[in-house]
């Protein structure tokens, strides 16, 4: 792994662990085993490096979710795969956690990948739900856009509840409840 890649990976980890404010250039350099000159050779500063790390997190999440939602199966099977995927629940979402960081939210450039990712996720879930509706798998009066927003909120809210409780149980209960509600909308 080259120095630029080590800097991005280290920043991804530190942003998840400490947030933007708690992630200092010195901590990034130490974790990446890179000098200050290397960091500033590849990036204009902490905001530029943080943006690269946030974008990488977003890309990785979108790729994994798209793979699950594009797999064969019914809409409910694909959404179930997304909701039940293996996650570090107590670590939280690598993108969603940054939505709670005041510096990230206040800085449009840093916030942009979050907005893009959540917009993409809601659209992608709505597409899968609309497909299920078109194929007669889901009730004809199901609103794909509203349901997609609810599913995204279940995941992000589940992370928050789990972190607050220090247990993955609230997350899993939220997912199970969402799936119960969704399967109640399937057509036999």
What local confidence, expressed as pLDDT, does residue 187 receive? Answer: 76
For the record, the structure tokens of 167 come out as: 């247990």
What local confidence, expressed as pLDDT, does residue 1 receive? Answer: 74
Query: Token pair 């969704």 is at which residue?
Result: 182
82: pLDDT strictly greater than 80: yes
Q: What mean pLDDT is predicted for residues 46-66?
A: 96
pLDDT tens sequence across 122-159: 999 999 999 999 999 999 999 999 999 999 999 999 99
How many whole angstroms separate alpha carbon 30 and alpha carbon 142?
51
pLDDT tens sequence across 158-187: 999 999 999 999 999 999 999 999 999 987
Count how many Cα atoms sit within 13 Å of the Cα of residue 43 in the half-sphere of its side chain. 23
| Residue 117, helix vs strand vs coil | helix
Q: What share of the chain is helix, strand, coil (3-state, %, to 5)?
A: 75, 0, 25
Phi/psi of residue 138, nearest 5 degrees: -120, 155
**CATH code, 56-183:** 1.10.357.10
Nearest to 185 by CA among 140, 126, 152: 140
For the record, the structure tokens of 83 come out as: 């909701």
Q: What mean pLDDT is predicted for residues 107-124?
A: 97
What local confidence, expressed as pLDDT, does residue 188 receive? Answer: 63
Phi/psi of residue 39, nearest 5 degrees: -60, -45
pLDDT tens sequence across 4-48: 999 999 999 999 999 999 999 999 999 999 988 989 999 999 999
How many whole angstroms separate alpha carbon 80 and alpha carbon 93?
18
**Domain spans, the chain:** 56-183
Cross-strand pairs, 186: 138
How many whole angstroms separate alpha carbon 36 and alpha carbon 29?
7
On average, the pLDDT of the chain sits at: 95
pLDDT tens sequence across 39-55: 999 999 999 999 999 99
């Amino acid at each position: 792994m080259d120095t630029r890649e080590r800097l991005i990976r280290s920043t991804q980890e530190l942003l998840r662990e400490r947030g933007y404010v708690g992630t200092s250039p010195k901590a990034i350099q130490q974790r990446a085993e890179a000098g200050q000159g290397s960091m500033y050779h590849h990036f204009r500063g902490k905001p530029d490096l943080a943006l690269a790390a946030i974008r990488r997190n977003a890309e990785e999440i979108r790729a994994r979710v798209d793979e699950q939602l594009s797999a064969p199966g019914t809409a409910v099977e694909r959404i179930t795969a997304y909701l039940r995927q293996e996650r570090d629940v107590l670590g939280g979402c690598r993108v969603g956690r940054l939505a709670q960081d005041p510096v990230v939210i206040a800085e449009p450039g840093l916030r942009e990948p979050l907005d893009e990712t959540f917009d993409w996720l809601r659209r992608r879930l709505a597409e899968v739900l609309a497909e299920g509706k078109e194929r007669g798998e889901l009730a004809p009066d199901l609103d794909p856009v509203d349901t997609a927003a609810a599913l995204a909120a279940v995941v992000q809210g589940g992370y928050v509840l789990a972190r607050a409780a220090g247990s993955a149980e609230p997350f899993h209960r939220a997912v199970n409840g969402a799936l119960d509600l969704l399967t109640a909308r399937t057509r036999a």
